Chain A
Amino acid sequence: MKKLSARRRHPLAALVVLLLALACTGGLYAAFAPAEKAQADDTAQSLAIDEGKKLYTVGCASCHGTGGQGGSDGPSLVGVGAAAVDFQVSTGRMPAATSQGAQVPKKKNIYTRAQIDQLAAYIASLGAGPAVPTKEQYGPEGADIAKGGELFRTNCAQCHNFTGKGGALTKGKFAPSLTDVEPKHIYEAMQTGPQNMPSFPDTTLSEQNKKDIIAYLNAVNGDETENPGGLELGGLGPVSEGLFGWIFGLGTLIAVAVWVAARTAKAKKS
């Protein structure tokens, strides 16, 4: 005891006390914290979380903080849910490059399906958020295409164009084209509202509404969409039509006029 009291004015004493106090608090917290959830997790789930945390530490922590709490370079991920992770990582938007333009673009996804699930499990473990939707939720069964079209024109077309070809937002940001976007990702985007997009939780657009919108998009901007009337010219409306009309309509006609004028009747030589 004497030995300890003799060192109580040692420069490092405060540090030791602090460490002890921290260890105490931590220990008490570990003992009394609501541990039911952790106990309820089956081994596979907690394993996935562990693996996800490792992946997170390598790929995400530099911006989003070591515990997903966010930082100056990235928002907090507590409560964003597995749906957000699945959308951002599967479409290659996350991890983002260190120097970004106005908006993080879609790019090649570098994670495997399993890794994305592990990451999603880890982020979901940080706080409750929307889960990855199931095929029943975004599949075409039981969807009303026409209703989806109406909802799309009401809620989505002002940024994404009437058949989801995309559009410009301020200062270099943009609403991306929805061509070739997987139904699951469209569902997740509506659910979580990535980047500049507002989110449409089930209270705003019900599960059925989302299903309808996805079915509509698949009908008008999918692989099997027919284009009555010929080339779609990008589906962008009058600007591309005007350009096409000038170049291929009037341009061809001028070429024809030049051709006709060059073939003039020659005066007969007497």
Chain B
Amino acid sequence: MSTTASNTSRSRGKAPGGERVADWADGRLGIYTLAKSNMRKIFPDHWSFMLGEVCLYSFLIIILTGVYLTLFFHPSMNEVQYHGSYVPLQGQLMSEAFNSTLHISFDVRGGLLIRQIHHWAAVVFIAGMFVHMMRVFFTGAFRKPREVNWLFGFLLFVLGMFTGFTGYSLPDDLLSGTGVRFMEGAILSVPIVGTYISFFLFGGEFPGGDFVARFYSIHILLLPGIMLGLVVGHLILVFYHKHTQFAGPGKTNNNVVGMPLLPVYMAKAGGFFFLVFGVIAFVAAIAQINPIWAIGPYRPDQVSTGAQPDWYMGMAEGLIRAMPGWEINLWGHTLVLGVFIPLVLFGVILVAIAAYPFIEAWVTGDKREHHILDRPRNAPTRTAFGVAWLTVYFVMLIGGGNDLFATHFHLSINAVTWFVRISYFVGPVIAFIVTKRICLGLQRRDKDKVLHGRETGTIKRLPHGEFIEVHEPLSQEQLHTLTAHDQYKPLQLGPAVDENGVERKVRATQKVRAKLSEAYFGEESQIAKPSVEEYKEITSGHGHH
């Protein structure tokens, strides 16, 4: 092993301390082999590749601050009378959970700051995951071999939403209690099993005396445990697959161009951790989040206006607020469609984005590995789908805050709700069409740039009086970057009859696939990139001018 080698070579005098420690560790953990294969691991540089890091670091911050909060939080719904230092709640009856959260906020040293860092980090964490997911989506980084990692990431996003929701419910304040009631209502709307699930979850009738303790286990143990495992898996897969990169000179599907993990990337990533911590701590130091003392303790007979969940559950809130209150009464049973349909749609909207990579892979039938990222414009249908999905998502966020949109823009809440209802159907369609047109326009511009060069803005007058704009040919590197992407051909089903004139049997799924493929890659959906012949012909033509 390496230890013996270094010992013999340094027979005179002792090796430096650091080296001896490293030797000790290597003899037991084999770190040299590990380091040799991973120290020079290359990571490409692009700001959007750091979005995942933002999530990772905010997750770490949440764990660190969360541990501190568990030291003081009492997950109990026993009723107590408040005697802390916040005057407007003196003598009020509240649960121990709410009481201990007030205690953390007012009487524990640094408690309020840690609480606010914890909560702000959660808001940023899930927002970061959302943006990270969109980066992966729009650049096609989810393609083979990264489909599993895409699903890991998606699961992290969904689990993050529910971890956030359970955490938001723990202080047992009026706002979160209303949120829990909302969730209970959604569960109750499930046909047949809804009541049973609700009774199982709350240990009886809502609110009961158990849910804070149960949500606590889920919030600090179950969900974060699963998430931690997924994060590790996610990172191992990133290492294993190596990072994707944007097309460029010298960058191929078989290499990674960037900086080595040690020392450059480690220093950068380590520094970035402190930057993330710093920004979140700064935000937490200047801005209040979830001021439970102002909101008051939860009582099922009270409610406040503006009762919204944290932003990541806003889509669910919007779906419920926009949905008309339909219900069906049959044989003494009620099916509350006004709540059940939004509940189903909530799942459908989330699954739609998660399943998209598999649908695209099926349509293209592409079994190759992809390590070079797409520019969004070069995959117009995917990009358009993504923007349509975002449109639905953000329309529903507007729906979730319809009352605040009404008061702050002096609108009627009914008008806002109708806008949301109509936009839910019309918005994504318009977004899809417009985005696709924009992508195609950008593709045309790229083609034009490759064939005719960059417009310099210099106007030249020719001897015979004609004015022309001088176009400057692109550099070889730019030409490569603009033409590096693959373009698929639409799937051909082949002739309808075989050589003997017998009708070929084509499966229905194949017909659907061919249709989709035509929609994806047909003449209407992509601009053929310039070929070498075209380029030669045009550039040689310029020479004869």
Contacts and interface: CB of A to CB of B under 8 A. Distances in A.
B interface, over-half SS: helix
A165 to B, nearest CB: 7
B482 to A, nearest CB: 22
B255 interface: no
B414 A170 contact: yes
B279 interface: yes
Interface in B434-491: none
Interface string A154-173: 10011111110111111110
A233 B305 contact: no
Contacts of A157: 174, 296, 302-305
A244 interface: yes
B288 A172 contact: no
A250 B302 contact: no
A145 B314 CA distance: 33
A254 B289 contact: no
A250 B294 contact: no
Interface stretch (A19-27, A35-43, A107-115, A222-230): A222-230
Given A146-B88, A253-B124, A253-B276, A220 B294 contact: yes
A237 interface: yes
A252 interface: yes
Contacts of B392: none
Interface in A153-199: 153-154, 157-163, 165-172, 174-175
B100 to A, nearest CB: 16
A171 B413 contact: yes
Contacts of A161: 304-306
A220 B272 CA distance: 39
Interface in B86-127: 87-92, 105-106, 112, 116, 120, 123-124, 127
Contacts of B406: 168, 172, 174
Interface residues of A, number: 60
B195 interface: no
A174 B407 contact: yes
Interface stretch (B7-15, B46-54, B424-432, B523-531): B46-54
A260 B268 contact: yes
A254 B311 contact: no
Interface string A215-255: 01001100000011111110111111111111011101110
A13 interface: no
Interface residues of B, number: 75
A160 to B, nearest CB: 7
A256 B308 contact: no
Contacts of B45: 261, 264
A143 to B, nearest CB: 11
Contact of B288 (A220, A229, A246, A249): A229
A102 interface: yes
Interface in A134-148: 145-146
B50, B88, B89, B296 — most chain A CB neighbours (10 Å): B88
A31 interface: no
Given A146-B88, A236-B306, A229 B279 contact: no
B413 A169 contact: yes
Interface string B375-415: 00000000000000000000000001111101100111111
Contacts of B293: 228
Interface string B159-192: 0000000000000001100000000000000000
B140 interface: no
A15 to B, nearest CB: 52
B280 interface: yes
Contact of A172 (B49, B87, B303, B413): B413
Contacts of B364: none
A6 interface: no
A128 to B, nearest CB: 34
A220 to B, nearest CB: 6
B290 interface: yes
A168 B413 contact: yes
A168 B123 contact: no
B259 interface: yes
Nearest to A229: B288
B123 A249 contact: yes
Given A219-B87, A257-B272, A228 B54 contact: no
B90 A162 contact: no
A102 to B, nearest CB: 7
Given A161-B304, A237-B175, A249-B123, A167 B286 contact: no
Contacts of A229: 105, 112, 116, 287-289, 291
A236 B404 contact: yes
A220 B295 CA distance: 10
Nearest to A245: B123
Contact of A228 (B291, B296, B400): B291
A245 B271 contact: no
Interface centre among A150, A174, A238 (most CB of B within 10 A): A238
A268 B429 CA distance: 51
A156 to B, nearest CB: 9
B92 A146 contact: yes
A145 B283 CA distance: 31
B310 A238 contact: yes
B342 interface: no
A28 interface: no
B112 A249 contact: no
A265 interface: yes
B54 A171 contact: no
A258 interface: yes
Contacts of A175: 305
Given A162-B304, A241-B289, A149 B47 contact: no
B533 interface: no
Nearest to B45: A264
B111 to A, nearest CB: 11
Contact of A241 (B54, B123, B276, B305): B123
B52 to A, nearest CB: 10
Given A167-B407, A257-B50, A250 B291 contact: no
A189 B286 CA distance: 35
Given A169-B413, A237-B175, A158 B88 contact: no
A250 B276 CA distance: 9
Contacts of B116: 229-230
Given A229-B112, A230-B286, A246-B311, A153 B88 contact: no
Given A146-B92, A174-B406, 8 more contacts: A154-B302, A172-B413, A175-B305, A238-B308, A246-B311, A256-B276, A257-B54, A261-B47
8 contacts: A146-B91, A153-B304, A154-B301, A165-B306, A170-B413, A236-B306, A241-B310, A264-B259
Among all A-B residue pairs, the 6 with the closest Cβ atoms: A242-B311, A167-B305, A245-B123, A172-B412, A168-B403, A261-B47
